[in-house]
Amino acid sequence: MQEIAAKAGVSLATVSRTIHSPHLVRAETREHIRQVMSEYHYVYNVTASDFSRRKSSVIGVIIPTTKGAIFSNSTQIIQEKAQERGFSLIVGNTGYEGDVESTLLRQFQERRLAGIILTGFAIGQESAVKEVVESGTPCVVIWETLQDSRLSFAGFNNFTAAYSMTEYLVGLNHRRIGLILGPYTKVRRARRRLEGYQAALRDNGLKFDPRMIIEKQPTLGEGKEGMERLLSMGKPPTAVFAASDMLAIGALTAAREMGFRVPEDVSVAGFDDIDFAAFSNPPLTTVRVPAREMGEIAVEMVMAMIEGNSTGVRQVVLETELVIRDSCRRL
């Protein structure tokens, strides 16, 4: 490192800051130092540095699935913002399984990671998450709002978001509304979406029919299967709310293959507003969630905890938005 400082004509401290805290170094200086490092094939030994400083420069991120694009936006911004601060990521995928989540939390703690960002957590894992927080490991939850005053989060109200979309479909005069959603028996945010759907039906004087509920993994194939089941009913729904855009796009394929026109014969709505939603056929009406904002705020929270600048638990509730496109129509 001393040689790089000499070649770059800067102090050793400036080189160190470029590696550990690049956001504190002017952009042109930072780029100059990195060019010199590249020219001399200098590879910094992060592991050795972490050991000597007794401080990790790795943040752990736990997501439920790597299938599809559901969590890509929030994970991408987490990586970008962490790298700006000289931190890297290690990502674990739970597959919506609580035991896998517990294992990942334990492994992340054993590796003394600098912090952990959880994309929600499985039902029954509340005590495990609290243990992480109580151990002193900086921890933030995204994609959910929580009632526990000891847990920091940056999320949105899944109940309200699902309620709004269901009420929108009711407002289009739909009375038989199917729901395809993720594993609500395992994941709290999926359960809250189910509860929002049920409440919207009840508040508008509509009867809840459990046969209209299809629980699926949020993939294109499972969305297609769920839609096939709904449209094969003796009296199929006139609208289907797929509480994930991946499920919704799969549902569009099923409707087309079964000879149903969207939205003429059946309306389809999604949830997430992933990039594909605007380019589906027809373009998908959906719920836009603040994915990038959640990731950005989560990194800010974790970094404040790591650097000792946190003033305590922070809980940020962000807004969702109905995005009206062409996949739904008024009866």
Q: What is d(CA 295, CA 61) in angstroms, rounded to the nearest whole number?
A: 10
Q: What is d(CA 63, CA 227) in angstroms, rounded to the nearest whole number?
A: 26
Contact, 216 vs 247, CB < 8 A? yes
Pull the structure tokens for residue 35.
Answer: 């060019």
Average confidence (pLDDT) over 120-137: 91
Q: Using alpha carbons only, give the angle 85, 89, 92 rounded to the nearest 5 degrees.
A: 155
Four-point Cα dihedral 118, 119, 125, 128, nearest 10: 0
The conformational region for residue 138 under phi > 0 = left, psi -120 to 50 = alpha, else beta, is beta
In 3D space, the residue among 30, 23, 27 whose CA is nearest the CA of residue 15 turns out to be: 30
Mode of pairing for the β-strands spanning 321-323 and 286-288? antiparallel
Pull the structure tokens for residue 321.
Answer: 């938005």
In 3D space, the residue among 73, 273, 3 whose CA is nearest the CA of residue 165 turns out to be: 273
Average confidence (pLDDT) over 263-270: 98
Q: What is d(CA 314, CA 321) in angstroms, rounded to the nearest whole number?
A: 23
Q: What is d(CA 165, CA 235) in angstroms, rounded to the nearest whole number?
A: 22
Pull the structure tokens for residue 11.
Answer: 């102090």
Q: What is d(CA 68, CA 72) in angstroms, rounded to the nearest whole number?
A: 8
Q: What 3-state DSSP class applies to 325?
A: coil
Q: What is d(CA 280, CA 282) in angstroms, rounded to the nearest whole number?
A: 5
Average confidence (pLDDT) over 121-125: 91
Name every residue whose Cβ is closer than 8 Å to that of residue 319 and which is 6 or more positions away in sequence: 156, 290
Q: What pLDDT shows up at residue 93?
A: 94
**Interval 130-179: pLDDT, tens:** 999 988 999 999 999 998 888 999 999 999 999 999 999 999 999 999 99
Query: What's the sign of the alpha-carbon dihedral 167, 173, 174, 175?
Result: positive
**Amino acid at residue number 204:** N
Name every residue whose Cβ is closer than 8 Å to that of residue 37 and which is 6 or more positions away in sequence: 4, 44
pLDDT averaged over every residue in the chain: 91
Asked if pLDDT for residue 69 goes beyond 90, the answer is no
**Interval 20-66: pLDDT, tens:** 667 777 888 878 877 877 777 666 555 444 444 456 899 999 999 88
Q: What is d(CA 279, CA 152) in angstroms, rounded to the nearest whole number?
A: 35
Average confidence (pLDDT) over 92-112: 93
**Could you tell me how many helices (H) and strands (E) the chain has, helices first?**
12, 12
What element of type H or E holds 205?
none
Q: What pLDDT shows up at residue 29?
A: 85
Contact, 50 vs 227, CB < 8 A? no
Q: What pLDDT shows up at residue 45?
A: 53
Average confidence (pLDDT) over 222-240: 98
